[in-house]
Structure 1
Amino acid sequence: MILFENARVFDGVNADCAEGMSLLIENDVIREVSDRPIKADNAQRIDLAGKTLMPGLIDLHIHAYFSDLNAKLVDSRDAPYRTAHAVRKLGHALDCGFTSVRDIGGGDYPLAAAIHDKLIRAPRFFYAGKVLSMTGGHVDYRLPGERHHTQGYCSCGSMNWGGVVVDGVDECIKAAREELRRGAHCIKIVASGGVMSPSDPMWMNQFREDETRAIVNECVERRTYVSAHCHPVSAIRRSVDFGVRCIEHATLIDAETAQFVAERGVYVVPTMSVIFVTMDVGAALGMTPDSMGKLKIAADSALEGLQHMRDAGVKMGYGTDLLGPTYDQQCREFEFRRDIFTPLELLRQATSIGAEILMQEDKLGCIKPGAFADLIVVDGDPLRDIGLLAANGEKLDLIMRAGEIVKDRLS
């Protein structure tokens, strides 16, 4: 058992932090929270000296295996290289205070099992499996001159590391069922064009209504949800109409569509980091002029879209989507959003709202008895200075993941 004493507690929701709190951790859960001393004779005692104790951070949009900005190169380097990158990336995330991540394309059961068995240091790991894409969609990585793809489930071919190409209701159903069988937390579809794909413009809507609804239905039957990659308003509106629960990016959203999303209770995970970090380094890292041009379109609208969603009351989670060597900029999402949101809003996005999106309310993103003991101790007040969480873990005196202390400058 571990007993935290004299803590200032941010619970993931409330601006008023309770002072002088005690928390008892037993195994991997919070057993007791009290404003009085807790009697626990055999516990390891840690005096927080009034520092802020809060839920661990949640990044809802990562790709652990995405080891290069060029998705085809990621494929050609094969699993050992991708896994080595994932180990480095996930360890860095944990050291920055991210105790949970959602891999929203490419993550798989073997990586999740390695994390569960403590073969690697990593946050709690939720994964969507392979992204579902239509032919010519955002995760069909073939160049226009290539004729055949090998992104299906046939074991005799080289499978696209991040996605599977499916067309028609039957193929969509089979792919969704296969990824759920493999332990996927949710299913991700690409509902519009994207920046990195070679043959689809960003404005292009993807998947028919019957295909999307078929995938949504499979997830509903599994008591989970569909998340959709969307840039333009047309794709966002279609996805919401067809039953999608969470929108990724929403880069080109306008005020009217933001209100539409909010009224229907759909979540959004914006990703500012991948836009602005890649704008700075993308050309040097080999991004094509076409992709850089599409990235510029996203950058010109991204912050305005955040403002539209804030004004409408859209519930937003924290996501980064950083690719290749840019993984170490994960904490900068706080910086990119800080001109739009208050520190309290940002803290909620990275904790309690993230837990809602993961369908892990009362377990993650909160501090209460019965919740998982995923906690960080901040040297300072993040409700006043959100930059404390943007310092790559340097301002974190303690990090606990599933009741295990993985960083400790206090004992």
Structure 2
Amino acid sequence: MSDHAVLHVKGRVLVGPDDVRDELWVVGGRVTYDRPVGTAAGDIRTVQGWALPGLVDAHCHVGLDGHGPVDAATAEKQALTDREIGALLIRDAGSPSDTRWIDDREDLPKIIRAGRHIARTRRYIRNYAHEIEPEGLVAYVAQEARRGDGWVKLVGDWIDRDAGDLTACWPRGAVEAAIAEAHRLGARVTAHCFAEDSLRDLVEAGIDCVEHATGLTEETIPLFAERGVAIVPTLVNIATFPDLAAGGEAKFPRWSDHMRRLYDRRYDTVRAAYDAGVPVYAGTDAGGSLAHGLVAAEVAELTLAGIPAVDALSATTWGAREWLGRPGLVEGAPADLVVYEADPRADVRVLAAPRRVVLNGRVVG
């Protein structure tokens, strides 16, 4: 941990939304609230400010760019960019790259993988997914459940070129069998969904999460709330919909109009889901066409949608870590934390300028 045996974080430590402490210590790379005994002053490094658990980007793609898988050097740069903004835990929501080597790097964010996307044939971005037909869905879900870290990623809808618009990718029976198989293997299932049509079938089939979820309506939001199905809105990605719509206008006017309507109601959709009790988490969809390091911007977007600042913070800290089964700033946990100059509960824009980033007990930024 730099040249010091012990790190002392002073100021306000936001252990939880209602649990604020004056200090914590990092000894042996782990959090403790007991002052270490017998440590010389010269062996202690002190950092002051407002401390949060390391941020979570709950929808990110390390090892992927707009053309498909990338080499290890590029994946490393992506992970370092996320680290610089304080995103120290990433749920990789689908990647064709093998990034297991990152697990051996204590200086890079921790990754929870969902294996490779599973899509319908010619119904997703080229070079990203396993492209299959419904009869193969259960087998591929089982394969990716074993390959991932407790998650599987489906592409629930995409443009159907014959229909000229977004349509559901999978028949109900195939989805039910696939989700049941994932659950049997101990994995949760999430799905990319922009439009309305696939949502009821996916939720009633037992899905655990939906990415983007721009197609939520007053009919499906209560179903999500009742079943406890989470959403990761990726609002920084939804901001690209107008440009996408303009690019497809000539060939697919129905799709373009649909994308604009989904964009126009994006904040209302997220706020309605939040108000109904649907769990909402922060994710950027970095990788592909979007840059890494956008989690602070995503949290700010959640507040623009009307989610209170503390709950928007929870969507990238306390709540997100609990949802993913990873500890925050509790006694004995790995010391992954970010320190800011001001209280992020008062203004989430503070997240864009971390004072210090601590990963596995080491000051890395």
Fold in common (TM above 0.5)? yes
| Structure 1 residue 132 corresponds to structure 2 residue 98 | no
Counterpart-to-counterpart distance in 2, 1:202 and 1:26? 55
* Contact 1:230/1:248, CA 8 A, preserved across alignment: yes
TM-score normalised to the size of structure 1? Answer: 0.78
Rate the CA distance shift 1:270–1:4 in 2: closer, same or farther, 3 A.
same
Q: Deviations over 1:169-207 (max 9, x none)?
A: 4x112212222333443111112225xx86675541221
| Structure 1 residue 48 corresponds to structure 2 residue 63 | no
Residue in structure 2 matched with residue 349 of structure 1 by the alignment: 315
Counterpart-to-counterpart distance in 1, 2:163 and 2:40? 61
Structure 2 residue matching 1:327: 3-state secondary structure = coil
Question: What percentage of aligned pairs have identical amino acids?
Answer: 23
Rate the CA distance shift 1:46–1:292 in 2: closer, same or farther, 3 A.
farther
Counterpart-to-counterpart distance in 2, 1:7 and 1:229? 40
Residue in structure 2 matched with residue 111 of structure 1 by the alignment: 99
Tell me which moved more, 212-221 or 123-132.
212-221
* Large movers: runs of 4+ above 3 Å: 197-203, 279-283, 286-295, 325-330
* Contact 2:96/2:117, CA 8 A, preserved across alignment: no
Counterpart-to-counterpart distance in 2, 1:368 and 1:205? 42
Spell out the pairing of 1:256-295 with structure 2 (5 A cutoff).
256-276=219-239, 278-279=240-241, 287-289=247-249, 290=252, 293-295=257-259
| Structure 1 residue 405 corresponds to structure 2 residue 363 | yes
* Contact 2:83/2:293, CA 8 A, preserved across alignment: no
Shift of 1:38: 4.1
Structure 2 residue matching 1:102: 3-state secondary structure = strand
Q: Which runs of 5+ in 1 are unaligned?
A: 69-73, 142-159
* Amino acid in the other structure paired with 1:117: D
Rate the CA distance shift 1:202–1:3 in 2: closer, same or farther, 3 A.
farther
* Amino acid in the other structure paired with 1:53: A
Rate the CA distance shift 1:200–1:118 in 2: closer, same or farther, 3 A.
farther
Residue in structure 2 matched with residue 10 of structure 1 by the alignment: 14
Shift of 1:56: 0.5
Residue in structure 2 matched with residue 94 of structure 1 by the alignment: 83
RMSD value over aligned CA atoms? 2.7
**149, 152, 172: which one aligns with 2:137:** 172
Residue in structure 1 matched with residue 338 of structure 2 by the alignment: 376
More strand by percentage: 2
Shift of 1:251: 0.5
Q: Deviations over 1:54-78 (max 9, x none)?
A: 100001111224422xxxxx04xx6
Shift of 1:312: 0.3
Counterpart-to-counterpart distance in 1, 2:360 and 2:163? 42
**384, 387, 398: which one aligns with 2:349:** 387
| Structure 1 residue 239 corresponds to structure 2 residue 241 | no
Tell me which moved more, 221-230 or 84-93.
84-93
Counterpart-to-counterpart distance in 2, 1:332 and 1:247? 20
Rate the CA distance shift 1:207–1:325 in 2: closer, same or farther, 3 A.
closer
Counterpart-to-counterpart distance in 1, 2:243 and 2:37? 53
Counterpart-to-counterpart distance in 2, 1:224 and 1:111? 19
Spell out the pairing of 1:316-335 with structure 2 (5 A cutoff).
316-322=280-286, 323-324=288-289, 326-335=291-300
Spell out the pairing of 1:64-75 with structure 2 (5 A cutoff).
64-68=62-66, 74-75=67-68
